[in-house]
A and B are shown apart, each in its own frame.
Chain A
Amino acid sequence: MPISNGNLLWKTRLFAAIVVLTNVTGNFALSWGIKHGAAMDGSAWSFVRVVFDPWVFCGILLLAGWVLSRMALLSWADLSYVIPVTSIGFVLNAVMGAVFLGEIITPTRWLGTLCIVGGTVLVGLTAPKTEPQ
């Protein structure tokens, strides 16, 4: 039988949200920093300089938060639970692309978004932690 209780469920949901938000905002900050200011010309110095761009630096901090929060989440939740549930980040990436970069969301993309949300909810309803087979 699955091991589950209310506290574990809410802790899992909180950490899944932190994992998704740090990943999406971290990638966005990196991408924004590299496209708007932190020019890279391929030289070794440009790789050092780019780290000190405020957006890139924030992106690195957020992605460090992503690695640590994912480690904590995986210390109790199943990998087969964490992977699909945190995939909701793909939807947030598409939304951020539409809002901040003016990308158009086609009907096919809306269908894809619905599939991801449906799949995430379906897996999210299962117990995060199960006994090994």
Chain B
Amino acid sequence: MAWLYVAIIVVSTVASDLLQSWEMKRQGEVTDFGLGGIGALLKLLLTKAPLIGSIVFLAVSFYAFLALLAVADLSFAVPATALSLVAETILARLVLKERVTPARWGGTVLVALGVALLAL
């Protein structure tokens, strides 16, 4: 059961971030950081399907994490987050066509390893 929750957490976290990154790149660089800009971001969040989807996946990931904590230790649950770091970088390269340099790969693996060690 715990591994099912881990799978749900990883898939929903990755889906949420990919959708958010994809739609925000499509909208273009945010340059207005005043109240009007915040309002515009809120409007996007409530009207653009990919952003609504990203919030739904974020909520699924959050509740799956709570459910995982009910059946597994935190020391098992946190490295699940580390798995999603690596999965997201792979998909950023494959789906978003980002240029992932060796330094980024190295840094991401180091961060994932660190998150796993923190949970021990």
Contact = CB atoms under 8 A, between A and B. Distances in A.
Nearest to A76: B29
A70 B108 contact: no
Rank and list the top 8 A-B pairs by shortest CB-CB distance, nearest first: A112-B117, A115-B114, A119-B110, A123-B107, A116-B114, A122-B107, A119-B111, A112-B118
Contacts of A74: 20-21, 24-25
26 contacts: A67-B45, A71-B24, A74-B24, A75-B24, A75-B29, A76-B29, A76-B30, A78-B21, A79-B18, A79-B98, A80-B92, A80-B96, A82-B21, A84-B89, A84-B104, A111-B114, A112-B115, A116-B110, A116-B114, A119-B111, A122-B103, A123-B108, A125-B103, A130-B99, A132-B96, A132-B99
A76 B98 CA distance: 12
Contacts, number: 149
SS of A interface (majority): helix
Nearest to A8: B29
Interface residues of B, number: 47
- In the complex, which of the residues B100, B107, B113 has the most CB atoms of chain A within 10 Å of its own CB atom? B107
Given A87-B111, A119-B111, A79 B116 contact: no
Interface of B: 17-18, 20-21, 24-25, 27-30, 33, 37-38, 41-42, 44-45, 51, 55, 85, 88-89, 92-93, 96-101, 103-104, 106-120
A70 B100 CA distance: 20
A62 B30 CA distance: 20
Given A68-B45, A87-B111, A126-B107, 9 more contacts: A79-B96, A79-B98, A83-B108, A87-B114, A119-B107, A120-B111, A123-B103, A130-B98, A131-B99
